[in-house]
Amino acid sequence: MSDLPYSQSCENNKQPILQTLQRLLAGNAHVLEIAGGTGQHAEYFAAALPHLRWQSSDIPSNVDSLNLRLSQAALENLPVAVALDVDQGEWLLGKWPIVFMPFDANDKSTSIFAEPFKRLRRALAIKEQGKFDALFSANSLHIMSAGSATNFFLGAGKLLDEGALLIVYGPFNYDGAFTSPSNAEFDVWLKERNPQSGIRDFETINATADIAGFELLEDNPMPANNRLLVWRRCAKD
């Protein structure tokens, strides 16, 4: 469908990311995606990783757009996306999101009462599946403010139990320097759109992850001057 949300960068990077996810998530069962965006990653990864339940999410204003693609995909392991804002005081209530936005492709209303019961059951299946054992996010930290990026890690630390993986894709600076001229140009463009956004320093991000209870496992180089960072949740105090 031509009216589906689309990102060329997602189309370009989904296969390289998948190659690493297939190795990392071979033994996992329930993944939460933060900032699902167009839904291209969720659709592609859920189809290629049928042993996983891939729960996508985005900020409330983007959930309906995200669900356009997920609804059409109609994959059993890809439930409707839920609303999640990393700046909320509590991301989740117990094991599942506080807020979910039921979606019907034929009904633009977000009212729970307008939603067919089968959609409601799919959303509530998050509860039945138990806790997430991995969290994935792509091209999100440089869009957020520095404060939101901190909240991203602190929220993940509260959500995930010992041994769970936190996987983040995107561009990062190292030793305070851009890794390419194109990343430097991209950073200028980001700040012109939103002065609070920008490519994050790896060392700062990793220190924040450490405070939130994560240890770095891998720093994987990816095409187009991006990285795929992998942390593991340490034992909680």
Into how many domains does the chain fold? Answer: 1
Domain that holds residue 211: 8-233
Residue 127 sits in a domain whose CATH number is 3.40.50.150
**What are the residues facing 83 on neighbouring strands?**
58
Count CB neighbours of 43 within 10 A: 23
Q: Residue 56 falls within a domain, yes or no? A: yes
pTM of the predicted structure, to 2 decimals: 0.85
pLDDT tens track for 167-225: 999 999 999 999 999 999 999 999 999 999 999 999 999 999 999 999 999 999 999 99
* Mean pLDDT of all residues in 121-144: 76
H-run or E-run covering 40:
helix 40-48
| b/e map 49-64, b = 16+ CB within 10 Å | beebbbbbbbbeebbb
- Confirm whether 123 is domain-assigned: yes
DSSP state at residue 224? T
pLDDT digits (tens, 9 = 90+) for 33-84: 999 999 999 999 999 999 999 999 999 899 999 999 999 999 999 999 998 9
d(CA 129, CA 29): 9
Q: Which residues pair with 172 in a beta bridge?
A: 200
By 3-state DSSP, what share of the chain in percent is helix, strand and coil, each rounded to 5? 40, 25, 40
Per-residue DSSP letter, 236: P
**42, part of any domain:** yes
**Residues 178, 196: contact at Cβ < 8 Å?**
no
Radius of gyration from C-alpha coordinates of the chain: 17
Residue 2 counted as domain residue: no
